Amino acid sequence: MLDFELTVYVLVCYFVCVIGGFIPFFIKLLPNRKLAGEILDICSASAGGLFLSGGLMHMLAEGNDMIDHSGYDFMGLPLGFFCCGCSFLFIFFFDRVVVTHGGHASFEDVEKMSGEENDSLMEEWSHRHKHPEEEKEEGKGWCSIITLIFALSLHSFFEGLGLGVSTSPTAIFIAVAGHKWADSGFTVIFLMSKIQSLPIVAVIVLVFSTFTPIGSLCGVLIVELLGESPISELIQGILICLAAGTFLYVAICEILTEQFENGKYKYIKFTLAIILFLAMSFVTMLEGN
């Protein structure tokens, strides 16, 4: 089962995700919401370096090594890279083709959500009569919410899966914990614009936060069931490469692309992303030794 180190990593990832989900509510209580949102956005953008290095230099490299060491031949097909690309496109399909959530959220959006209309988000749902048209529109809103949560939970599961099957999970843990708070916070900002009930938003955050631990547990169980054999090494390598694709998706599509769209503090963000990329690469080098 889970060893002590991995158990600590999984629990930290869970609580980081939960705490990150409540950051937008904390920001609403601050006197200078705009400044707080900008600082958090800079921190989130810099995490792109963590995910890029974790996906490329740690997970993809480790997965390919495992596949090569398993001794199986796939007629020249670079299976690890193929699996990585498939998972990238799979997550892209759910997050950008199926889900239409109107772009990437920002912690600065919390500032725009102040006022009488949005202050009701901190109160209980007010019961009022709805016309059939309003109920139909609300149903569509719930469909988009459920689809978005499914897409986010899917790549959270794969992140946890990579953590569970990896033989050296420290670098993966740093990357996941370094961004999970922001991922959860952005999700809540989106939900706050759709749901006027704090308890419902809180429940969604708690459920969403469990998918990384669930993925880790599944990864550990798969490794234990297969034992030490060539087929076990092959499957572990495939799973790690699949998880690497989700890391690259988060780094490229969710962070590095979208966080630089508004152009604010872009040089600071890029510098921090490079620093964290190099730091993660150094951690990977230490683990390799």
Q: Are 59 and 197 in contact (CB under 8 A)?
A: no
Phi, psi of 219 (to 5 degrees): -60, -45
**Res. 49: pLDDT tops 70:** yes
Looking at residue 261, the DSSP 8-state letter turns out to be S
What is the pTM for the complete model shown? 0.71
The pLDDT score that the predictor gives to residue 107 is 61
- Rounded to an integer, the average pLDDT of 142-146 is 66
Reported confidence tier of residue 76, pLDDT bands at 50, 70, 90: confident
Residues contacting residue 256 through CB under 8 Å, at least 6 positions apart: 45, 48, 52, 273
The pLDDT score that the predictor gives to residue 135 is 47
Q: List, for residues 212-241, the tens digit of each pLDDT value.
A: 999 999 988 988 888 778 888 899 899 989
The pLDDT score that the predictor gives to residue 60 is 92
Cite the DSSP H helix spans in 210-265: 211-226, 230-249
The fraction of the chain above a pLDDT of 90, given in percent, is 16
- Average pLDDT in the chain: 78
* Distance of alpha carbon 123 from alpha carbon 119, whole angstroms: 8
Q: At what angle do helices 198-209 and 4-21 cross, to 10 degrees?
A: 160
